[in-house]
Structure 1
Amino acid sequence: MKLVRYKMDSVSSYSFCWIGFIFFILVFVSCQPKVKLPNGDEGNGGLFLPDGFEAVVVVDSIGRARHLAVSELGDIYVKLRVPDKEGRGIVGIRDTDQDGKADMVEYFGGYPDQGNYGTGMRIYNGYLYFSTAGEVYRYKMDPDDLLPVGEPELILSDDYKNAEYGYEHIAKPIAFDDKGHIYVPFGSPGDICQELNRKPGSPGMNPCPQLEWHGGIWQFDANKLNQTQKDGKRYATGIRSVVAMDWNVAENELYVVQHGRDDMNKSWPDLFGPWESALLPSEEFFRVEEGTDGGWPYYYYDHLEGKKKLNPEYGGDGVIQGDAHLVEQPLVGFPGHFAPNDLFFYKGDQFPERYKNGAFVAFHGSTIRGPYPQGGYFVAFVPFEKGRPSGSWEVFADGFAGLDTIVNTGDALARPMGIAMGPDGSLYISESVKGKIWRIMYKGNRSDFGQEALSKLEERKNQRTNIKNPDKERDNLETGLIESGAQVYNLYCGTCHQRDGRGDGNRFPPITNSKVVNGRNRPLIELILNGLEGVILVDGVAYNGVMPSHSFLSNAEISSVLTYIRKNFGNNSPSISAIEVGNVRKQIENQ
């Protein structure tokens, strides 16, 4: 008995010591000073945020920023859309004095990048992974230095320029699971898998042969070098174009927000008016498991009616659903053309509890909503529970564009692009016009945060023309427009070249003070009739958009639109007659 009692006393003493030790640790930790957050800028750097949040501009203009990542030390790494003049496509940023402002800004990266579409930037297992239009690379990170170690390693290459069906949606965001896999989307080579890409009325190919190598997400080994698409596994299909993608660690699943198809009014004017075309189809938020089929190109989602419907190219009429119930339904259908360009599930503890494991979505902003104001240009938040939305989407950050009614994409002062989280739970947001980076912090009482703090942003959701559903009559920017050439331009040309003729700054060039517009008549007419694809240089800037043939327009319509652009946008050249257009058309047809 004494032996047993001795053991019990020893255990009790041992337990008491451990309890005392744990108590000491808890007291010690609780007494440690919390990391002090820097002061927010006056006016939050132009952003509108929920009550209790502040924002500081870390750096103002580093170049056309895309995605970004933040290391455990708080260093920021940003992928530029195109490398600078010295061929450096990544920016490293460090705040040495913890005042929220960049003290070190270093450009680096020597690697082939010919695609004008750099996007991805993530940190994984001590490596900095990033993507160009055709490659995924990684650098070994140095824990003691802002700049990485050695030369970049090639993880994946995509020979997209020699793809059978051409190429359009070539951005390559990246995500990682917990089993050593990297996920990379291969976007659709066109809009909707038509026999003649982007030609109004052209039927869709059924079955769509493009789905073999496009319109889906592929899984690769994150540590294997020099892979091609054939080395990967098609993880999901029927997903048109993805730039917003993240692995949700709370659910251990992949999530994406898809860019929907374009220009339903232009392609099917008898079925969809300008208002429907401005709002549809939805940008679809998917939970992606192995084998998921999102339904592209056969189906689109109509968030106004909460239904997935058959695309007109495959027999739809705006009502017919067909077998849409057999494909993946979205968790959320956002309004059309908002352009979801990054997705991030919040894992930190700085923000109020309602944000934990919820999804932030950066909406880069539309280019094709005319004749209505452009939409997007803000960051949304979707609350989550058990892997699914637990409430309606909210406006988290707005004000990037610097104005309410955005007529032309180029009017926006900033377009939110990338989202990342710092080690203290701060949220970092990049924008793609000049390359500004914001750091968003919560300074309020976490336990008191509620709907009242969200009320101002809810008002913006219902009132601002870049967020709300436009009124069919009051918000139509063409009201009173009588010039036929302007109407043709706004319907068929303004979606890319923008209403002010300055282009979108990314894929489509400006036509202001244009040598081509003011040049010889025949090449200009041929350009409209034949279309154009491939990289072109305008004022020393490379553009890589696709201009489809507009031969379906009548001679009178082509005459009016060419005359219109020759008399506007800083151009001043003689008109072009319908007879001249007809003569060039006949010569092309007889070749």
Structure 2
Amino acid sequence: MKYFSRLPFLLFQVLQRYNIYLNIVVAGFSIIGFSQCKEPVKLPSGDPDNSGLFLPGSFEAVVVADSVGSARHMAVNSNGDIYVKLRFIKDEQGSNVALRDTNQDGKADIIQRFGNYKDEGSLANGMRIHNGYVYYSSDLKIYRQKLTPGKLIPDSEMEVVLTDDHAHGTHWHITKPVSFDNKGNMYVPFGSPSNACQDLANSPGGKPGEAGLDPCPELEQHGGIWKFDANKIGLTQKDGTKFATGIRSVLAMDWNPVDENLYAVMHGRDDLLRLWPDKFSPWQSAVLPSEEFLRVKEGADFGWPYCYYDHMQQKKVLAPEYGGDGNSIGRCNNTDLPIMGFPGHWAPNDLLFYRGDQFPERYKNGAFIAFHGSTNRAPYPQSGYFVCFVPFKDGQSTGKWEVFADGFAGVDTIVNVSNAKFRPMGLAVGPDGSLYVTESRKGKIWRIMYKGDKSSFGETQLAQMEKRKLLTHLKTPDKVKDDLYKGREVAGERIYNTYCAACHQRDGKGDNNRFPPLAGLEWVTGDKERLINAILNGLQGEIQVNGKTYNGVMPAHASVLDDQAIASIINYIRNNNKFGNNASIVSAAEVSQVRKSSGTESK
């Protein structure tokens, strides 16, 4: 009886102990388990029709900002703040843009400029965040500023990390993109001005049939990637070491921590038809040479200017400036090969290895490449203008590329660069794994997100994007059917489209980047002698056109075109209703007179 009378009390003790143990277990579980289970990040809604982008499967896109200015490279901080390098912006507000989304709707509601270096050139591209600093570039310098947690705009001193302090004349391959490895090193490319090491001092753009200098003196300070101590500032090129050579021009560059290698996608040379019309057809000049995807190891030599890669033959061939005919290999047998080659003139302007967790598994550690799009494929359609993906497995490329994001141009047959609504430029990954893309016309920024079941992503979704390779801006053009000028031009128009449209475009509007417009321009309709002299002898150095600075090289045509041909070009552009030009006629005799007075070699 005593036992049963104590039963309620004993039961109470058991329950009390059980409750204590339960609390301990729950608390312990929270410490070792629940505390590590973060709530999944809520992604914002995508825009209707993904704001014009075509994406695979359940990917969505939202426009973060619509028009920040001519946007180049970009970086995203660990808190989601976005930093963008601008081009052609030289004023007190600064040449960089910082953006913040305060209400997590995917749209930037704070947009501010910073980084005033208006005395520097306008061809800059680089933007990186590294060890708490934001790095950005002008033509000739790399700067950095310390970021303060919580603050959008860095208010610290602009430190000069690197100065390009040597003379290199006028060209557009002096931009300074920057990458960092995980070993304390910084990598900076120094591009070369010429197609194949021609003597540009005496002939802007190079002369047709002119041999390249051998050995090429440009390779001493250009045509390669240099390595620097990432912990130092106040550097010049001599403080670094030449990491790799034979690389003409690089904007797209990234370090891959999986295999601990630097990667880059090189801009190939131009002007095969203009410089070597007896060896290359308009079709060959449109699709060649390849834009080369490089695994850049220390000491590598990728062969420029002596060689270029032909992705159709899958081999390095000898450049015509060194005796090549488009097929012979010669001295190129000893150069390093690319991972793969893309079609010519697509303009690879950024490269990013995806290390986020938001996308399906096939994208993990693969490479995204932003192709800015061609300007010089005439008489065939312009090509590129999309974001590509190259899968990697176990640190090795599969050798195939995929269309990941398309629709930037807004049209398919891109006759002139001005037809393209947007041109993709910069890439970055946010802290949640979203992919950000900038474009350079207005400065639109997209955020691309994955909203579907990652385990179900596969061939069906990829097949729909594979079909886009049949569109004219992505396919290899048919030599006859895709010739836009076939049977359509009179003499002046035909010559213009052959020798001038590659830069100034068929519509005369230029490319809004390196090459100025001709439409409605006093430079064209004004002083005859000035225009004749520019076509005969070429032009280099800064010029102002419609309030915009252009700093490129116009090649000389005196040894290519006779007086009548040059007069035909001039009359075509000076009296072209499509260009909005209406000026007096220029005769072949007037061209001849300027040719003689300038001492120019006659054709």
Whether contact under 8 Å (1:294, 1:327) holds in the other structure is: yes
Report 1:125-274 matches (<5 A). 125-159=131-165, 162-163=167-168, 166-195=170-199, 196=203, 197-274=205-282
Query: Which position in structure 1 is the counterpart of 2:513?
Result: 506
Correspondence 1:438-477 to 2 at 5 A? 438-461=446-469, 463-477=470-484
Distance in 2 (alpha carbons) for counterparts of 1:310 and 1:323: 7
Shift of 1:33: 2.6
Tell me, in whole angstroms, the C-alpha distance in 1 between the residues paired with 2:162 and 2:24: 51
**Aligned residue type for 1:303:** H
Matched, 1:362 2:366: no
CA contact (8 A) 1:169 1:190 kept: no
Shift of 1:198: 2.2
Shift of 1:299: 0.4
For residues 170 and 515 of structure 2, the distance between their equivalents in structure 1, rounded to whole angstroms, comes to 17
After TM superposition, the structure 1 stretch with the greater mean CA deviation from structure 2, 354-363 or 27-36, is 27-36
Three-state SS of the structure 2 residue aligned to 1:199 is: coil
Q: Deviations over 1:492-522 (max 9, x none)?
A: 1111111111111111111111112111221
* CA drift at 1:481: 2.1
- One-letter amino acid of the counterpart of residue 524, structure 1: L
- Post-superposition shift, 1:48? 0.3
Q: Kindly provide the CA deviation profile for residues 529-549 of structure 1, in whole angstroms up to 9, marking residues without a partner as x.
A: 121111110111111111111
Code of the aligned partner of 1:110: N
Which is further off, 260-269 or 106-115?
Answer: 106-115
Check conservation: 1:274, 1:370, Cα contact below 8 A.
yes
In 2, the alpha carbon distance for the partners of 1:492 and 1:212 equals 32
**Structure 1 residues 166 and 103, CA, compared in 2 at 3 Å: closer, same or farther?**
closer
Q: How does 1:325-474 map to 2 (within 5 A)?
A: 325-461=333-469, 463-474=470-481
8 A contact 2:90–2:117 mirrored in 1? no
The equivalent of 2:536 in structure 1 is 529
Q: Distance between the aligned counterparts of 1:128 and 1:590, measured in 2?
A: 50
- TM-score normalized by structure 2? 0.92
Q: Give the deviation of 1:391 after TM superposition.
A: 4.5
Return the offset for 1:342: 0.1
Cα deviation 1:396-420 (Å, max 9, x = unaligned): 0000011111111112111000000
Paired letter, 1:183: Y
Measure the CA separation in 2 of the matches of 1:300 and 1:264: 11
3-state SS in 1 of match to 2:60: strand
One-letter amino acid of the counterpart of residue 143, structure 1: P
Shift of 1:480: 1.6
Aligned residue among 480, 483, 493 for 2:500: 493
1:250-329 alignment, distance < 5 Å: 250-329=258-337
Please show how residues 36-115 of structure 1 align to structure 2 within 5 Å.
36-115=42-121
- Which protein has the larger Cα radius of gyration, Structure 1 or Structure 2? 2
**Per-residue deviation, 1:30:** 7.3
Match of 2:587 in 1: 577
Q: Is the 8 A contact 2:383 2:472 kept in 1?
A: yes
Instruction: Note if contact 1:82-1:113 (Cα within 8 Å) is conserved in structure 2.
Output: no
Moved more, 105-114 or 119-128: 105-114
Tell me if structure 2 keeps the 8 A contact 1:155–1:223: no
Instruction: Report % sequence identity.
Output: 58
- In structure 1, the residue corresponding to 2:135 is in which secondary structure? strand
Q: Taking structure 1 as reference, are residues 113 and 520 closer, same or farther at Cα in structure 2, changes over 3 Å only?
A: closer
Equivalence for 1:561: 569
Higher mean C-alpha displacement, 512-521 vs 422-431: 512-521
* Superposition pairs of residues 117-132 of structure 1, within 5 angstroms: 117-132=123-138
**Which residue number corresponds to residue 5 of structure 1?**
none
Whole-Å separation in 2 of the counterparts to 1:99 and 1:176: 32
State whether residues 331 and 388 of structure 1, in contact with CA within 8 Å, keep that contact through their aligned partners in structure 2. no
Task: Please give the alpha-carbon distance, in whole angstroms, between the structure 1 residues aligned to 2:24 and 2:85.
Answer: 49
Distance across 1 between alignment mates of 2:25 and 2:257: 33
1:448 partner letter: S
Task: Sort the Cα spacing of 1:545 and 1:22 in 2 relative to 1 into closer, same or farther, 3 A.
Answer: farther
Distance 1:563 1:36, change over 3 A: same
Instruction: Quote the Cα distance in structure 1 between the aligned partners of 2:600 and 2:198.
Output: 25
Query: Which one-letter code corresponds to 1:311 in the other structure?
Result: A
Question: What SS class does the counterpart of residue 202 from structure 1 fall into?
Answer: coil
How much has 1:388 moved relative to structure 2? 2.1
Which amino acid in structure 1 is aligned with residue 510 of structure 2?
A: G
Q: Tell me if the contact between 2:358 and 2:450 (Cα under 8 Å) persists in the aligned partners.
A: yes
Partners of 2:122 and 2:563 in 1: CA distance: 35
Distance (Å, rounded) in 1 between the aligned partners of 2:27 and 2:352: 39
**TM-score, normalisation: structure 1:** 0.94
Give SS of 1:150's match. coil
Unaligned runs of 5+ in 1: 1-16
Q: Deviations over 1:160-216 (max 9, x none)?
A: 6x32x6433112110001122111100012221013442211101111111000000
* Offset from partner CA, 1:57-85 (integer Å, 9 cap, x none): 00000000000000000000000013254
SS state at 2:553 partner: coil
- Give the 3-state SS of the residue equivalent to 1:516 in structure 2: helix
Answer yes or no: is 1:542 the counterpart of 2:552.
no
Q: Does the CA contact (< 8 Å) of 1:111 and 1:152 recur in 2?
A: no
Q: Secondary structure at the match of 2:572?
A: helix
Unaligned runs of 5+ in 2: 1-22
Quick check: 1:83–1:113 contact (8 Å CA) kept in 2? no
Count of residues in correspondence between the two structures: 572
